[in-house]
Amino acid sequence: MKIVYISRSIIPSRTANSIHVMKMCNAFASLGHEVTLLAPWTKKLEEKDITDIFEYYGVEKNFELKKLFSPNIKYLKKRIYSLRCLSEVKKINPDIVYGRDDMFAFYLTQKSGYFTLFEKHEPYDGEGFNDFFFTKFMNANRKSAKLVVNSNELRKMYHTRCELSMDSILAANNGTNPIADEKIPEGMTLDTNRVHIGYVGSLFKGRGIDIIIELAKRIPSADFHIIGGKDKDLEFWKSQVSLDNLIFYGFVEPKETYKYRNMCDILLAPYQSDEEGNRSSRYMSPIKLFEYMSSKKAIVCSNFKVVYEALNDECAMLVESSNLQQWEEAVHTLMNDKDKREQLAINAYEKFLKYHTWQARAQKILEYIESNR
């Protein structure tokens, strides 16, 4: 089939949504489909000095990326970009228009007669430009397949708030790709007599960086590695603490992050609840968890209900998000029990291979489309 994927992600950039978009287009194409990704051309916001976008994201160049100019004009920016997307869709004449973030563009392609399916990663509050056109899009949608979301909790929310039948919403968790090798970062020297504990991801509020810092203080016998983060967040946390066993690495290109996971024995995902600063925690399907699972490493994670869509007690240690004692006990348990670390890691990896690769996600979405067009 011919698929056009529409996105508002800045490509290339450091954002998780840009990684998601590139990986999904790669997965659709790997299943034998002709894929064109439309993304805004916004030079000022793009990551600098990237010579090969596909190589930067670590994906095969098996789909076409078309950048459409998106002028920085208040109130008109989204509308102009969406109209440009419609024009491009008409030139390509695809079998399916798919994607996320730009609701107006999908409303326009649906009105123009194209089979259009939209993916939502955020809760619905009925306010703003996107939700206005989301409602119009849903009201005009006569197909059985109406929406794709990335968690079962989000599926339930749209069923309740938007009065959509459960059958018309597909929950497809995010994913990642299997790791190609066991390399660690070039030039990295690790003390093999110490346990290495890692975190890969954003450093903003709600990600539990304060939990990791406290663990580093309480467990001086282990080394803690924090990979990722914007420069301003990195500067903030570095100004708060200085410990010999806590190392901040800053931003690492997406294709290189697996090497940092490889060097760790234990990986942490200390997500915090809505009340603790993370608005999306109830509905999230973080790519981080699937990347952790693919790394064959023991995982300690916050025990949110939505997390159980990826993990369970047989493939991770799940603890209360803000209970520092539970975090410390879980880390100590894994530090002192190598067999438990290895068994959890194997269980997580096997679950990942079966359910949570990008290709498996793409296949699930395409099968849903075919059975409901």
Domain ranges of the chain: 2-175+357-372, 195-355
CB 263 within 8 A of CB 188: yes
Q: Smallest Cα–Cα separation from 307: which of 341, 271, 268, 360?
A: 271
Rounded distance between C-alpha atoms, residue 212 and residue 225, angstroms: 9
Rounded distance between C-alpha atoms, residue 284 and residue 244, angstroms: 33
- Burial of 73-85, coded b for 16+ CB within 10 Å and e otherwise, reads eeeeebeebbebb
CB 132 within 8 A of CB 139: no
Tokens of 58: 């670590």
Helix axes 287-294, 338-355, angle to 10 degrees: 120
Rounded distance between C-alpha atoms, residue 118 and residue 6, angstroms: 9
Q: What is the CATH number of domain 195-355?
A: 3.40.50.2000
Please name the residues in contact with 177: beta carbons below 8 A apart, sequence gap of 6 or more: 23, 58, 294, 357, 358, 359
Q: Rounded to two decimals, what is the model's pTM?
A: 0.87
Q: What string of pLDDT tens digits covers the 373 residues of the chain?
A: 999 999 999 999 999 899 999 999 999 999 999 999 999 998 888 999 999 999 999 999 999 999 998 877 776 777 899 999 999 999 999 999 999 988 999 999 999 999 999 999 988 888 888 888 999 999 888 888 899 999 999 999 999 999 999 999 999 999 999 987 899 999 999 999 999 999 999 998 888 999 999 999 999 999 999 999 989 999 999 999 999 999 999 999 999 999 999 999 999 999 997 644 445 667 788 889 999 999 999 999 999 988 999 999 999 999 999 999 999 999 999 999 999 999 999 999 999 999 999 999 999 999 999 988 7
For position 276, what pLDDT does the model report?
Answer: 41
Q: Smallest Cα–Cα separation from 284: which of 342, 344, 207, 359?
A: 207
Q: What is the CATH number of domain 2-175+357-372?
A: 3.40.50.2000
3-state secondary structure of 272: coil
Query: Could you tell me how many residues make up the chain?
Result: 373
> Rounded to the nearest 5°, which phi and psi values hold at 66?
-115, 120
Residue 194 amino acid letter: R
For position 278, what pLDDT does the model report?
Answer: 44
Q: How many CB atoms lie within 10 A of CB 245?
A: 17
For position 280, what pLDDT does the model report?
Answer: 60
For position 277, what pLDDT does the model report?
Answer: 41
Q: How many CA atoms lie within 13 A of 367 on its CB side?
A: 8
For position 275, what pLDDT does the model report?
Answer: 47
For position 105, what pLDDT does the model report?
Answer: 94
Domains 2-175+357-372 and 195-355 fall in the same CATH topology: yes
Rounded distance between C-alpha atoms, residue 341 and residue 329, angstroms: 14
For position 160, what pLDDT does the model report?
Answer: 94
Rounded distance between C-alpha atoms, residue 289 and residue 348, angstroms: 10
* 256-273 pLDDT, tens digit each: 999 999 999 999 999 997
Residue with tokens 């009105």: 111
Considering only the C-alpha atoms of the chain, give the largest distance between any 2 of them, rounded to a whole number of Å: 63
Angle (CA) 263-11-269 rounded to 5° is 35
For position 222, what pLDDT does the model report?
Answer: 98
* 73-107 pLDDT, tens digit each: 776 777 899 999 999 999 999 999 999 988 999 99
